[in-house]
Amino acid sequence: MRAVDFVVETTKRYVEQMPKSQRKKYGQFFTSRETAAFMAGLLDLPENKKIISVLDPGAGSGILTAAVVDRLQNIPSVETICLVCYENNGDVIELLESNLEEIKRHSSKEIVYEVKRENYILSQEETYNGTFSAELNPKTYDIVIANPPYIKLPKLAPEAMAMQDVCYGAPNLYFLFAEMSAFNLMENGEMVYIVPRSWTSGAYFKKFRNKFFKEVVLENIHLFESRDRVFEIESVLQETMIFKARKTSQKPETVRITTTKTSSDFEDRTVYQAPYETVINGEENYVYLVTNEMEAGVLQKMNGWKNTLPKIGLKMKTGLTVDFRNRDALCDSAENGAVPLFYAQHIQEGKVVFPIGKENEFLSTSQTGLLQKNTNYLFVKRFTAKEEHRRLQCGVYLAKKNPEYNRISTQNKINFITGIRELSECTVYGLYVLFNSTFYDIYYRILNGSTQVNSTEVNSMPVPSIDVIESMGKSLLKTHDMSEASCDRILEKYL
């Protein structure tokens, strides 16, 4: 039996007797057999080294470590495998140690292992921040492989304070693990991680991306079309990806990007070699998840525009009212000076329809922070289902449709685009052409793998000049055809 098969079986027994709520405290979700083998298979292992050092910084039961050991069995030059496994969850340490002992017993190579019952981040805080003397260098490894814990931390958590150079706001523990692993790699060493896709864009991860890509280069990315089949042993809905990075300053020409529907069909995967500069681009170091030539072409065309919404006096903002926090201000009619409160349900076939007979579609409040001028906007849904045809779903809002109101409000599950000056109808319709086009929807999906439309990313996306946007709006007003195909035909004239 392969080492990974043995560890998967013992892990299943552990999961059955350990409540998920208990494991969730540690952000612990166990990797499937197929995923572990695929991750280990990404390693471009050295053929001439007798001793290979492996770090698993969030070892759990040792599934990933076992997969690497299985892989190393087939390399004749390797004589000794040195394993270091960090795990500070006392519930699983006994299982980890017994699994490592079993791996050692059945390995054709010499296995030397150490289990560190420490917090991976805090145990290296002084070394990471350079407060130790120069001769006390960090231990480095040929290979780091990890399924790190996924836990959002308070911004003053000890781990966040230990790595302030990559933190902005409240960080997630998984990307602190990734940065520390890059720190622990020897030159030309490789790291393979399975993580959420959220780090590839957005302001919260900018400091991390900027430092990370000064230390390593991406060589492989793997994406899953399905959210619910990545962790075979678990029941987890998570947008995840696998990446392999190498510690070197030499950027490769391409990044190999593969895609499968689930974690159990890695053999049936699409493969695309994307230019490195296409995948990692711009001042923000966003990672563009390009999976084919068509998507690469969309990126190339869109990136020809050098403007962004803020550069042309526009900006996407998030809706102002969190309805469940303002229940006392919600009402069903325009009584006592109440104003319209717009929800995602009001966006219908490219237009904003109001009222629709929905509960709580009015707001009665004197809080100025919940109110905005009744002027023209483009409303964009913040949340869509992964399976929906479009990620960007928008509607034109015209103030003249509700002339009796000076103020309106927007629920925080929609975004709205506004400007320094009041938007003309042509501008709003032109923005609709842009956001309702196939091209812009594809661009956003490449940029952000989640189902949430974030204003930070949208405000960084390329747009044409305000004159072009107004011209597109005039074209749409002539046709009155709000369809995606109509928007594509108009936009193609300006690409």
Question: Cα separation of 242 and 196, whole Å?
Answer: 9
Please give the pLDDT value at position 231.
45
What backbone phi and psi angles, to 5 degrees, belong to 64? -70, -40
pLDDT for 1-54, tens place per residue? 688 888 888 988 888 877 665 555 554 567 888 999 999 999 998 778 999 999
With a CB cutoff of 8 Å and minimum separation 6, the contacts of 404 are: none
Pairing mode of beta strands 254-260, 270-275: antiparallel
Give 486's strand partners: none
Q: What is the enclosing helix (H) or strand (E) of 239? A: none
Question: Cα separation of 67 and 94, whole Å?
Answer: 19
pLDDT for 143-163, tens place per residue? 999 999 999 999 999 999 999
Q: What angle is formed at CA 57 by the lines to CA 185 and CA 451, rounded to 5 degrees?
A: 100
Average pLDDT over residues 476-493: 95
Give 318's strand partners: 415
Q: What is the enclosing helix (H) or strand (E) of 273? A: strand 270-275
How sure is the predictor about 206, in pLDDT bands with cuts at 50, 70 and 90?
very high
pLDDT for 365-415, tens place per residue? 999 999 999 999 999 999 987 778 899 999 999 999 999 999 999 999 999
- Whether residue 431 contacts residue 417, with contact meaning beta carbons closer than 8 Å, is answered with yes
With a CB cutoff of 8 Å and minimum separation 6, the contacts of 472 are: 429, 430, 433, 434, 464, 490, 491, 494
State both tokens at 149. 């814990």
pLDDT for 419-462, tens place per residue? 999 999 999 999 999 999 999 999 998 988 777 898 989 999 99
How many of the other CB atoms lie within 10 Å of CB of 153?
Answer: 17
Average pLDDT over residues 272-293: 91
**Letter for the amino acid at 92?**
V
State both tokens at 388. 């929906």
**Letter for the amino acid at 110?**
E
pLDDT for 299-334, tens place per residue? 989 988 999 999 999 999 999 999 999 999 999 998
Question: Cα separation of 259 and 270, whole Å?
Answer: 5
pLDDT for 89-124, tens place per residue? 888 999 999 999 999 998 999 999 999 999 999 999
Torsion of CA 57, 61, 67, 69, to 10 degrees: 80
How many of the other CB atoms lie within 10 Å of CB of 495?
Answer: 12
Pairing mode of beta strands 80-86, 110-116: parallel
Average pLDDT over residues 169-189: 96
Greater confidence (353 vs 20) lies with 353
Question: Cα separation of 445 and 305, whole Å?
Answer: 18
Question: Cα separation of 166 and 489, whole Å?
Answer: 43
Whether omega for the bond prior to residue 154 falls within 30 degrees of 0, making it cis, is no
pLDDT at 271 over 60: yes
- Tokens 């779903």 sit at which residue? 393
Q: Between the CA of residue 12 and those of 238, 263, 335, what are the distances in Å?
A: 20, 17, 58
How sure is the predictor about 134, in pLDDT bands with cuts at 50, 70 and 90?
very low
* Crossing angle between the packed helical segments 3-17 and 33-41, to the nearest 10 degrees: 140
Please give the pLDDT value at position 432.
98
Average pLDDT over residues 182-194: 97
How sure is the predictor about 284, in pLDDT bands with cuts at 50, 70 and 90?
confident
Please give the pLDDT value at position 429.
98
What DSSP state is assigned to residue 368?
G
pLDDT averaged over every residue in the chain? 91
Burial 307-334 (b: 16+ CB within 10 A, else e): bebeebebbbebbbbebeebeebbbeeb
Question: Cα separation of 46 and 310, whole Å?
Answer: 48
Please give the pLDDT value at position 236.
44
Q: What is the enclosing helix (H) or strand (E) of 433? A: helix 425-435
Closest to 435 measured CA to CA, from 478, 355, 377, 386: 377
- Tokens 């219908």 sit at which residue? 348
3-state secondary structure (DSSP) of residue 145? strand
Please give the pLDDT value at position 22.
57
3-state secondary structure (DSSP) of residue 250? coil
With a CB cutoff of 8 Å and minimum separation 6, the contacts of 23 are: 15, 29, 89, 91
Please give the pLDDT value at position 233.
46
- Tokens 């420490």 sit at which residue? 118
